[in-house]
Structure 1
Amino acid sequence: MNSALIRQRLKPWMLPIAMLGGILFHNFIDMIAFVAPYLIFIMLLITFCKVKPHEFRVTRLSGLLIVVQILGSVLAYLALLPFSRELAEGAFICIFCPTATAAPVITGMLGGSIPRLATFSIVSNVSVAVLAPVLFTLMGSEADLSFFESLTIIATRVVPLIILPLFTALAMLKYIPKVHGKIASHQSVSFYIWAVSLFIVVGRAVSFIMAEPAEMIPEMLWLAGISLIACCAQFYIGRRIGRRCGDRIAGAQGLGQKNTVLAIWMALTYLHPIVSVAPAAYVAWQNTINSAQLYFKSRKGTVCL
């Protein structure tokens, strides 16, 4: 059995293995967590090298997805607020959270449009950076920060992870096209980098949950349940919107695959700390769906949601 065949058979199981590893070794994640932003940068650089500048266009798909992301999060919050503020905040953060910086990678593997998803990823993350301070203030943020302090902190954590790899890829295309082409021809490397990133993110999420006291378990289960509903609903709605706009995969990944690391940080910074359980659980839900999609695509050549 040659190495290419081994990789092909192992690939559908890489994400579950990474998730299981993160769960088992979560106590050691802090030792390597610092490399996560660098892994995301490299992963996005590889992905963006496959995209031509003229392919970045804000389309109807981006417009519809951002409306669902922003309006849906507010409506979910208002609907659950009479029952529980923590559950309302959990639903809000799972929907309001921007598209994962790694979403273009998974979209490309599933056969969707990387340019469409990369464009929406920028729209989604910049929208959150601008709107988050306003919405968190209206919700009664736990953080004692001014509007401009909140805007600066969120923007500096989100925007560089997307903008810098994009600008680097465009600069390489112009000044060192041979290197750019070499990177563009090795897209499969980004998948394995994503698996390592997932190992780190899952480990950190498990650590967040384990740190909560035992008496909070019932509420944590409710938050995990709200997170599951939000995850499935967003993949489904995104898929429906994407089908109407000519790319169901980009639609589903754009709305369903979230930047959970940022979501956990925002929950801990601006909301009640227990709310961080919702995006922590979202890590498991979205990557279970991604693993299933990659498995079915590798086995049958189709994407199943």
Structure 2
Amino acid sequence: MKMSILRQRLKPWMLPIAMLAGMVFHDFMGRIEFIAPYLIFIMLFITFCRVKPHEFRITRLSWGLLSVQILGAIAVYFCLLPLSPDIAQGTFICVFCPTATAAPVITGMLGGSVPRLATFSIISNVTVAILAPILFTLMGTEADITFMDSLTTISMKVMPLIILPLILALLLLKVAPKVHRAVAERQAISFYIWAVSLFIVVGRAVSFIMDEPAAAVPEMILLAIFLGIVCCGQFWIGRKIGHRCGDKIAGAQGLGQKNTVLAIWMALTYLNPVSSVAPAAYVAWQNTINSAQLYFKAKRDAKNASAES
């Protein structure tokens, strides 16, 4: 069997296997989680090599997704507050937190507009960095951290991971266009790096949830159910907004795929620690959806490749 055919047949199964392996070997994630930011950096660099500078534009899609991200989070919080403050806070943080840094990578794999999603990712993260201290203060949290400290910490956690790969890709386009073109033509590498990243992220999420006390299990289950509804809802709403603006995939990934690592940090810093289980559960939901989308796309690609050969 040719290696290319073998890869096509294995590709649909790689992400489900990575998620399952992360669950099984979650105890070992603490030893290798330090490489996750580097993997995301490499994925973004490869993805941004597909993008030309003039393609970065703020469009109706950016404003539509951002309005749902901010106003939707506030609405969800007040709707769930009578039920439980912890559930309200946990659900709020998973709507409010910005687009994942890896979202442009998945968007590119699924055939969406990388420039549109990359532009929104930057806007989304900058907006959260500015609004988070204000909104959490209004929610009555008693975090021992100043506005400027919070703004600086969030910015330092997120922005370098987005901006530096973009600068490096644009610089490479200027000084070594042939190398830039060679990187841009090897987008498939991102898929395999994403599988390794998924293995680590799912493993860390499982470890995080298992470290919670047994008394918190009923509330954790309820949180997980709410987060499943919210996650599916965000992908669906994002897809609808994207459809109106000409890119369903970018819309769905922009609103549905969240920076859960940052969300966990914000929950632990500002909110009741129990609410930090919500973004940990969101990891499983969003990556199940992403894996399913990539699985079916890989199946279609493999079928098309077989038909052409």
Task: Please give the range of the TM-score, normalised by the shorter of the 2 chains.
Answer: over 0.9
Counterpart position of 1:186: 186
Matched residue type, 2:233: A
In structure 2, C-alpha distance between the alignment counterparts of 1:297 and 1:194, rounded to whole Å: 15
Matched residue type, 2:159: V
Instruction: Select between 70-79 and 176-185 the one with higher mean Cα deviation.
Output: 176-185
TM-score (norm 2): 0.95
Matched residue type, 2:268: L
Residue deviations 1:209-250 (CA, integer Å, cap 9, x gap): 011111111000011011111100000000000000011111
Counterpart position of 1:48: 48
Residue deviations 1:74-112 (CA, integer Å, cap 9, x gap): 110011112210000011011011111111111111111
Counterpart position of 1:4: 4
1:299, distance to aligned residue in structure 2 (A): 2.8
Counterpart position of 1:94: 94
Counterpart position of 2:34: 34
SS in 2 for 1:145: coil
In structure 1, C-alpha distance between the alignment counterparts of 2:75 and 2:190, rounded to whole Å: 36
1:203, distance to aligned residue in structure 2 (A): 1.1
Counterpart position of 1:235: 235
1:123, distance to aligned residue in structure 2 (A): 0.8
Matched residue type, 1:252: A
1:154, distance to aligned residue in structure 2 (A): 0.5
In structure 1, C-alpha distance between the alignment counterparts of 2:40 and 2:2, rounded to whole Å: 29
In structure 1, C-alpha distance between the alignment counterparts of 2:145 and 2:216, rounded to whole Å: 27
TM-score (norm 1): 0.96
In structure 1, C-alpha distance between the alignment counterparts of 2:277 and 2:213, rounded to whole Å: 12
Counterpart position of 1:281: 281
Counterpart position of 1:162: 162
Q: Percent identity?
A: 72
1:185, distance to aligned residue in structure 2 (A): 0.8
In structure 1, C-alpha distance between the alignment counterparts of 2:61 and 2:44, rounded to whole Å: 21
In structure 2, C-alpha distance between the alignment counterparts of 1:5 and 1:253, rounded to whole Å: 29
Counterpart position of 1:133: 133
1:267, distance to aligned residue in structure 2 (A): 1.2
Matching of residue 269 in structure 1 with residue 261 in structure 2: no
Within-5 A mapping of 1:114-129? 114-129=114-129
Q: Could you list the runs of 4 or more consecutive aligned residues of structure 1 that deviate by over 3 angstroms after TM superposition?
A: none
Matched residue type, 2:144: D
In structure 1, C-alpha distance between the alignment counterparts of 2:162 and 2:79, rounded to whole Å: 32
| Preserved CA contact (<8 Å) 2:89 2:271 | yes
| Preserved CA contact (<8 Å) 1:111 1:249 | yes
RMSD (Å), alpha carbons: 1.1
Counterpart position of 2:109: 109
In structure 2, C-alpha distance between the alignment counterparts of 1:22 and 1:168, rounded to whole Å: 31
In structure 1, C-alpha distance between the alignment counterparts of 2:20 and 2:270, rounded to whole Å: 30
1:296, distance to aligned residue in structure 2 (A): 2.0
Matched residue type, 2:4: A
In structure 2, C-alpha distance between the alignment counterparts of 1:8 and 1:111, rounded to whole Å: 17
Matched residue type, 1:10: L
Residue deviations 1:12-31 (CA, integer Å, cap 9, x gap): 22211111111111111111
| Preserved CA contact (<8 Å) 2:15 2:295 | no
1:152, distance to aligned residue in structure 2 (A): 0.6
In structure 1, C-alpha distance between the alignment counterparts of 2:9 and 2:228, rounded to whole Å: 29
